[in-house]
Amino acid sequence: MKEICYFFVGEEKLRTYYIFNVNKEMSILTKDSPYMLFKSFESIYKSGREDLFVATNLYEQLASKFNKELVNNRISHNFLDNQFYIYTKNMHSYYNKYRDETCKIEVKNSYLICTCKNSRFELLRKLQGYSLFACDFENKDYFWLDEITC
């Protein structure tokens, strides 16, 4: 999972968020204490090959895998007519020069990788039914996506 990549838009470095589909029970337990959830995902992120079994078990307790086809269809269906949107296999890109927004989302089985210039997450707004938790491990930033109001 340690495949952080950086893109530059002008002088500004884009941030990379790993977005997890948190299990319903775990989202209820950690809704008011997201730091503990972040630390759990961070331990999975930092684990090596020797800890793969333990990391996999921890992941399965915290999160559910995504249905890639469903996620891709939901995102692409809602943005297909948008002039700023581009879709290729499991990769969604949104470049809105008028709102200064750049966002790329790669859909994986266990998580989404969102590389963006700001944290508006326009592409993820249509994914109802998921408890999405975003982690920027490099900057120690984390939040529930449903708490974004802008």
pLDDT tens for each residue of 12-56: 678 999 999 999 999 999 999 899 999 999 999 999 999 999 999
Q: 3-state DSSP call for residue 99?
A: coil
pLDDT at 2 over 60: no
User: Which residue's entry shows tokens 């950086």?
Assistant: 6
Domains and CATH numbers, the chain: 12-147 (3.30.310.250)
Q: With beta carbons less than 8 A apart as the criterion, state whether 16 and 138 touch.
A: yes
**pTM recorded for the entire structure:** 0.83
71 vs 144: CA distance, rounded Å: 18
Query: Taking 90 as the threshold, does the pLDDT of residue 84 lie above it?
Result: no
Per residue in 101-118, pLDDT (tens digit) is 788 999 999 999 999 886
Amino acid at site 112: L
